[in-house]
Amino acid sequence: MNNLRSIEELQGIISQAIEEVDLPLEPSELYNPIRYLLSIGGKHLRPVLVLMTADMYQFDLTKVMPQALGLELFHNFTLMHDDIMDEAPIRRGKTTVHEKWNANVAILSGDVLFVKAYQLIVKAESRFLHKIVALFNKTAIEVCEGQQLDMNFETQVDVSMSSYLKMIRFKTAVLLACSLKIGALVADASDEDQENLYHFGIHIGIAFQLMDDILDVYGDQKDFGKQVAGDILSNKKTCLYITAYEKANIDQRKVLDYYFSHQDFEPKQKVLEVMKVYDAIGVKASCLEMMAENHTLAIGYLNSVSVTKERKSVLFKFIEILMFRVN
């Protein structure tokens, strides 16, 4: 129990557990889309964080596996529904569920994923159950609120950076924070450690989403696994857009207003014109700086967790991999 498992080992444990998730054969139209989405990979960040935290406290991972899997199924439920709302054609380098089947199938399969997630989340010792359910309920509601704010931004011209950071805190960061806190809670960590790990998750989650925004425009589809510039094509107000809009001159704002208020453009033309504005203003560097600020805050909270630095080494490695995916 003294040897820390590597990130790769934990990902392997989760991948094997996902393959063994029990899903009925019929109706196949309901369950095959779930099998498909679960089979096309992903980094399994949330369940890995649950196991990583429990392992940090030398806790038996089998006792926290139901919660780790439940959070992964919940995350996949949100992806399945988000892809419908975003009209996204690609997820993890593969055709999205609503494109491969249809939107109605994706909605219903997503609903079942949520119920399956809940079934796993509640498989906990009675002394932890109330706190786990309360945290999961709060997190699930905040994730949905974050998605609604994200959709609201699509029709708002002037979105403030503070509003955007609140949205990504809810939509992305709280689920990472929840994963860390549940791992610590079940491992019987102190309340102070649980809170420090939660806030670590919030700030690393914000940093992760800011990097995700950058990679959407400046990443490679082959490496990133999503449609490049999908946020531009779907008129999403990301840190790149908000930074550009705040710093743009009159002519540059006209370009952004024009392309972000319509859908009837040839995709390459829209991406090219918007990226010209982004590059002229230097939004990539500004967003990387904001990401670095949250990264620093996250490190501070992790340093405050009362276990040895050696036992936190895998979490530090996790940060390194997560944050430095692009130069």
Q: Mind listing the pLDDT tens digit for each residue in 11-30?
A: 999 999 999 998 999 999 99
* pLDDT at residue 42 in the model: 81
CA dihedral 168, 113, 235, 264 (to 10 degrees): 180
CA atoms of 127 and 137, how far apart (whole Å): 17
CA atoms of 314 and 143, how far apart (whole Å): 27
* pLDDT at residue 226 in the model: 53
CA atoms of 228 and 165, how far apart (whole Å): 22
The answer to whether residues 169 and 146 touch, using CB atoms and an 8 Å cutoff, is: yes
What are the start-end ranges of the H helices in the chain?
7-19, 28-39, 45-56, 65-86, 97-100, 103-121, 126-153, 161-168, 174-186, 191-218, 221-224, 230-233, 239-247, 250-260, 267-281, 283-303, 313-323
CA atoms of 28 and 270, how far apart (whole Å): 39
pLDDT digits (tens, 9 = 90+) for 102-120: 999 999 999 999 999 999 9
Q: Three-state SS string across 124-147, please?
A: CCHHHHHHHHHHHHHHHHHHHHHH
Angle 281-323-47 from CA coordinates, rounded to 5° = 135
**Which structural domains are found in the chain, ordered by start?**
7-323 (1.10.600.10)
- pTM value is 0.89
* pLDDT at residue 46 in the model: 95
* pLDDT at residue 223 in the model: 52
CA atoms of 149 and 248, how far apart (whole Å): 24
Question: In which residue ranges of the chain is pLDDT below 50?
Answer: 1, 224-225, 326-327
Omega into 27 within 30° of 0, i.e. cis? Answer: yes
* pLDDT at residue 221 in the model: 52
- Give the single-character DSSP code of 285: H
Q: Which contacts qualify for 168-171: CB closer than 8 Å, 24 or more apart?
A: 168/205, 168/206, 168/209, 168/210, 169/202, 169/205, 169/206, 170/142, 170/143, 170/145, 170/146, 171/143, 171/146, 171/147, 171/209
* pLDDT at residue 220 in the model: 67
* pLDDT at residue 87 in the model: 85
The answer to whether residues 114 and 138 touch, using CB atoms and an 8 Å cutoff, is: no
